[in-house]
Structure formats: C-alpha cells, structure tokens
Chain A
Amino acid sequence: MARILVVEDDGATAEAIAHELRAHGHDVTVAETGEAALAAAQEATLDALTLDRLLPDMDGLALLARLRATGVQAPVLMVSALGDVDQRIAGLRAGGDDYLIKPFAPSELAVRIEVLLRRTQQSVETLLQVGSIQLDLLRREARVRGTPVRLLQMEFKLLEFLMRNAGVTVSRRVLFEQVWNYHFDPGANLINVHVARLRRKLELPDVPSAIATVKGEGYRFDAV
C-alpha cells in the first residue's frame, strides 16, 4: 500500500481517481487547492502524487516547484487538460515524472501510478522472476521454465516492463511511451502485433499465456 496525494480541483474527477487508486489498495488523500496540497505533503511522507496543471489558487508547475523545494521526492504524475506537446515537455521539465492528458480512464492513471511506484522500488533488481518466466537483466537472457528464449532487443524491453508491472493492466499508450519512448498514438494494431509476437515466443503447451489482453484497457502480465 502506498500513500498517494491526489491534487485535483474538479470534485468528480478527484473522486473517480481516488476511487480507482483505493481499489488498487492505496491510501489516498485528496487536495483541491495548491495550499491544501502543500499542507498535506507536510503531514505525511508521500509515495506518489497526481497533480492537476490548473488549480484555482496556483499553477500545477508552481506547486510542483514548491513541493520539490520542501523536500518532496515522491514521483509526480502531472494530469492536465492542457494536452499540447510543449505543455507536456514543460510539465516533465518542471520535475514531473509522467504526464497524463484529460480525459483519461482512471484505470490508466492508476497504471501510471503503479509504474511510477514500481520504478522507484525495483530499479536495482537484476533478476526478474514472475511464475515460470525469468529475465536476467545483466545477461540479457529470458527463460521460460528454464528454457532460454531468443528475444529481440525491443521484445526484451517489452517483457521487462510487463514483468516489472505484473498484475497491472497497462494500456497500449503506456507501453508505447515506456518501452519505445514515443509519445504519440501509433494505433492499436501496431502494439497488438508486438505483444502477440512476444506472447508466441513465451508460449508453453497446456498453460494459458502469461500476457492477457484486457478488452478496451490493454495487457496484463500474470504469473503462470
């Protein structure tokens, strides 16, 4: 369970975000203004924050700068209706760790929070094991039930990301951003094909695939 501060002035959106994060088992506090957010950040050590760019009393970027100045190191997911590229760049430059454009599915926000939380927690691991699949990050080796599987560089990165976020449904958009590092919509088919290829390489007879497709949401890596 992680402590997450949701800074969002729109009550309904804040409620939807909080509900989704609580469903993921997190302890959520909501702040509707910048001042309330600063106060909340002083009260408890946070594991992550979601931050709306447009708040009634201050700009999200200014708030982020003040939070960082008071020693808040937790990863920050910027959330904004300001969707243009320069705004995203400005958000990330100001110290945001990810940027999500409204409207979004609350589950997508939850996934991005999971990704941010796991990034800070697991970055030192070099051997990933989920169910029967093992990934040696140093030797760049993947094994399914001990049998080595030949993966291309991108397939390896994709598998690493899915395994690090095992149990979490990740959207195609998140995959494309986090694995390929591109921030545009390449269309559903392209990512589907890459996932399908990886899935085929990891296939085991009589065992359901480790990568499940969640209709309308994305993909989830499960222990098999």
Chain B
Amino acid sequence: MPSDRLRWRDVRATTPFRLTLLLGSVFLVALWATLATSYVFTAHELLARSDQILLMRANALLASPPAALPDRLRAEIANTTPGLSYFALLGRDGEQVVGNVDLPAPPRIGTPYAVPAAPGVHGPLRVLAVRTTAGETILLARDILPIQDLRIRLLQILLVSGLAGTALVVTAAMLLSIGPLRRVRDLERASRIIAAGGLGHRMPIAGRRDELDQFAATVNLMLDEVAHVVAQVKSATDAIAHDLRTPLTRVRATLHRMHQETPLPEAARSVTERAIEDLDAVVDRFAALLRIAELEASGRRAGMVSVDLQMLLGELAELYAPLAEERGVALTIDLRGARRVTADPELLFEAVGNVLDNAIKFTRSRVTLRLRERADVPVIEVIDDGPGIPVDEREAVLRRFHRASGAAGVEGTGLGLAVVSAILHLHGFTLAFGDAAPGLIASIELRASQR
C-alpha cells in the first residue's frame, strides 16, 4: 500500500513516466543516428576530396622529368599555404632529397593512407606516396585536422545532446507522471475511506473529462447504487430488529409469567421451560446475526485504541483457565514481544476468546495460546491437539451457520467463527487455520490496519 507522500519509486512506476521515457529514448536514439550518419558522410566526403587533390597533384608531379623534380617540389613547398600541404622526395635509397615534412618510413605506395602525427605538424595527415620512373618516391600529404575536429565536435554534440536530452526526457516524464499519480492517490484515499465504511464518500473528479475522471464517475455511480441498497437493507434490518424484537419480548414475558405464577402440571411446566429456552436460542442467534451484519456494515472506528497484546491475552487466559482446567485441558501461555496494535480491545478480546473457547471445546489434552512476531507483524496463535478442520472446510467454517464435520455432537450455533471473522475483517486482521499435526493452529495475523 503506497504512502501518501510521493516517492521516486512510485513516480517511476507510473505508465506516463514509462511511456515518456520510452518515447524520449526513441527520440534520442533517432537524433544520435542522424548525427552519426551525417558525420560519417561528411568525413567520408572530406577525405575523398583530400585524396582527390593528393592524386591530382601527384599526377602533375609525376609528369615532370625526374631530374627537375627536386626543383619542382621546392617551388611547390614555397608556394603552398603553410600548415596545409606537405611534400617530400625520397631517393632510391629512401633518404629524403627535398621536403618540408619527415614522414615515417617505409611509405605505402599507390593508395592514400592516414598518418596520425609527424614532427613539426599540428594534426593528422593524409599521405599519398607515388613512385617515379627513376625509382624515387614522391610523398604528398594534407592536413586533415578539420575532419578530426568535425568528429570531436560531433561527439561533443552527441554527448551534450544525450545528457541534456536524457535530463529533459526524465524531467518531462516526472512532470507528466506526478499529476496523474496525485490524482490516483486521491482516488486511493477516497477508496480507503469508502472501504472503511464511509459509503457517503465519493471518488474525486478533477473536471478534465479524462480517463481518470471517467473511471471515478463510473465508481461513483456504482457507489450510489451500493449506498442505496445498503440503506434499504439497513432500514429493513432496523425494522426487523424493532418489529420482531418487541413481540418476541412480549411472548417471552408471557411465557415467563405463566411459568412463574400459574400453577401448572409438571408436563406443562417443562414444556413452557423448553419453549423459553428455545425462544432464548432463537433470540441469541438473531442477535448474533444482527451483530455480524452490524460488524460487516460498520465503519466503527470509535473503539480503536492502542492495545497491549500481552495484557489482553493474559486477561483472556485468566478468564478461560478455569474452563480448561475443568475439562482436563492443559492451557499453556507463551507470549513473546511486548507488542501493541491499534484495535478495539473489547472486540479483539471477544474474537480471540471465541477461538480459544473453540480450542478448549475440541482439543484432546492441551491448548497453547501464543503471541509471536512474523515478519514484524504480531501473530496470535491458538494451538490444540484435537481433530482439526479438514483443509477443504477451513474457509467454510468462517461462514454463517457452517459447522465443521468434526463438530457434530458439540454444542454450538455455527455463528461463533462468523462473528470472529467479521470482527477481524473490521480491523483488517486475518484468521488462517493450519495443521498442528495432530490438531489445529488458528493464526490471527494483526497486520496494522490500512483501512
């Protein structure tokens, strides 16, 4: 259950955040692909142009007579723009005859190639080496620093656009998520109030007519119907409560008076006595049913206080110890961890008391009342060594009037566990049955209420 404060992990889990991030990433990848493609084409074009210039110059030099080459090169060197073009003539022995650059030997003849650096030169060079008919080698080189600069700049653009783009996308995703998330939180808050019995509460509508508003409106419509039905049931229950209880009171009073004051034959006395007992049983069941209905429909929070579980269970054990003793049942108390929970102490006492009463009723020789902590949640366990409840009946015993197959012959209305279930549900606590081999473990998990 999320808290009311917006957290990063809640924001990043939202659909708008994920969608914005996905779209933003696609946009960034497309941007990078465009930049990378334009870089590759531009670099290739620039290189091709350099190579073409080098080839044209090499062909022009090769056209000169070999003897005139040194002078021709000197003239080229003198006329060239400093720092852009370089020339060298190597003799047949590889020694440099003329030149304004010292390139690493041996040169690769025929095809242009790159030289990362040379003495006295700023940047990388594109070099073309050609062989003359006399066996000498002409080296022509061009500075390709602009191409390298272009690559660095493009990489910088990629990096900056990547970082800025990512930041922008994440920011946009957050901004787009927070609004809807806040509204979802409002809806959650409203639904918690409604789930806690606040049937008069409604889902908030922002007035934007978007999907959240449509959803809230649908839920509100449903709530109107539910509230209407609940109100009808409640008024019917109240009417039954009043209109049935008053005549029942009258019948019981008449029977009681007849039993107390009229001289009756013994047989008639025992009949009236049984009638009063039966009437009391009807009234008790009726009261239990109304009580379950009341607990289930209740938004009762008034009785909720911080309860000391050790104290409550200690009192409960004290109350039930004589009953256990009388039935020859060894009642063991094992309470660990001074835990407090928020609960209605009287209702919790009744619920655990009912479970304990059942255990004492059905056990063979012993019952243990235990308080434990499981994953930071206090758990009350009532363990007996009786016949247990078959796995397929463990859910059913929590329903009204259901009695487990092993309960035949034991006094009971089949409403006790339904009352327990209603009480625990009101608190948001849970009851589960397990196998104690032999016997039953009833575990009441007192998870802090989120309702």
Residue positions of A touching B, CB distance < 8 A: 10, 12-13, 16, 19-20, 54, 81-86, 89, 101-107, 154, 180, 182-187, 189-190, 193-194, 196-197, 215-216
Contacts and interface: CB of A to CB of B under 8 A. Distances in A.
B357 A13 contact: no
Contacts of B238: 82
Interface in B122-148: none
Interface of B: 238, 241-242, 245-246, 248-254, 256-257, 273, 276-277, 279-280, 283-284, 287-288, 290-291, 294, 298, 300, 302-303, 318-320, 322-323, 326, 346, 349-350, 353, 357
Contact of B256 (A54, A89, A106, A186): A106
A12 to B, nearest CB: 5
A193 B187 CA distance: 52
A216 B259 CA distance: 12
Given A16-B254, A82-B241, A194-B322, A101 B287 contact: yes
Contacts of A101: 245, 287
A190 B350 contact: no
Nearest to B261: A23
Per DSSP, are chain B's interface residues mostly helix, strand or loop, or mixed? helix
Contacts of A197: 322
B245 A102 contact: yes
15 contacts: A12-B250, A81-B241, A84-B291, A84-B298, A85-B298, A85-B300, A86-B302, A101-B245, A101-B287, A103-B252, A103-B283, A185-B288, A190-B357, A215-B273, A216-B273
Contacts of B284: 185
A193 B300 contact: no
Q: Which of B238, B252, B276, B288 is packed against the most chain A CB atoms within 10 Å?
A: B252
Given A12-B250, A185-B284, A186-B353, A193 B245 contact: no
B241 A190 contact: no
A156 to B, nearest CB: 13
B252 A10 contact: no
A84 B300 CA distance: 11
What 5 pairs between A and B have smallest CB-CB spacing?
A103-B249, A16-B253, A103-B248, A102-B245, A84-B294
B346 A184 contact: yes
Most buried by B among A20, A54, A183, A187: A187
Contacts of B320: 190
Nearest to B249: A103
A194 B323 CA distance: 8
B294 A193 contact: no
A182 B350 contact: yes
Given A182-B346, A184-B350, A81 B252 contact: no
Contact of B246 (A81, A85, A183, A215): A81
Given A101-B287, A216-B276, 13 more contacts: A10-B250, A82-B238, A83-B290, A84-B294, A102-B246, A103-B249, A103-B251, A106-B253, A182-B349, A186-B319, A190-B323, A194-B322, A216-B277
Contacts of B287: 83, 101, 185
A194 to B, nearest CB: 6
A98 to B, nearest CB: 16
B300 A81 contact: no
A54 B288 CA distance: 22
Contacts, number: 100
A105 B252 contact: yes
Most buried by B among A102, A185, A190: A102
A103 B276 CA distance: 12
A104 B287 CA distance: 12
Q: Name the residue in B280, B323, B353 with the highest tally of chain A Cβ atoms < 10 Å from its Cβ.
A: B323
B242 A82 contact: yes
B329 to A, nearest CB: 12
Contact of A16 (B250, B276, B291): B250
B75 to A, nearest CB: 113
B12 to A, nearest CB: 44
Given A193-B323, A197-B322, A89 B302 contact: yes
A54 B243 CA distance: 12
B256 A107 contact: yes
A37 to B, nearest CB: 18
Contacts of A16: 249-250, 253-254, 257
Contacts of B241: 81-83
A84 B242 CA distance: 12
Contact of B346 (A12, A183, A215): A183
B253 A54 contact: no
Which of A12, A54, A197 has its CB near the most chain B CB atoms (within 10 A)? A12
Contacts of B346: 182-184
A72 to B, nearest CB: 25
B413 to A, nearest CB: 10
Contacts of B256: 105-107
A106 B433 CA distance: 42
Nearest to B412: A187
Nearest to A180: B319
A102 B277 CA distance: 16
Nearest to B273: A216
Contact of A193 (B246, B288, B291, B322): B322
A84 B290 contact: yes
B294 A190 contact: no
A154 B318 CA distance: 9
Contact of A19 (B248, B257, B279, B318): B257
A46 B319 CA distance: 38
B108 to A, nearest CB: 99
Contacts of A13: 246, 249-250, 253
Contacts of A105: 252-253, 256
Nearest to A194: B322
A194 B249 CA distance: 29
B78 to A, nearest CB: 110
Nearest to B350: A184
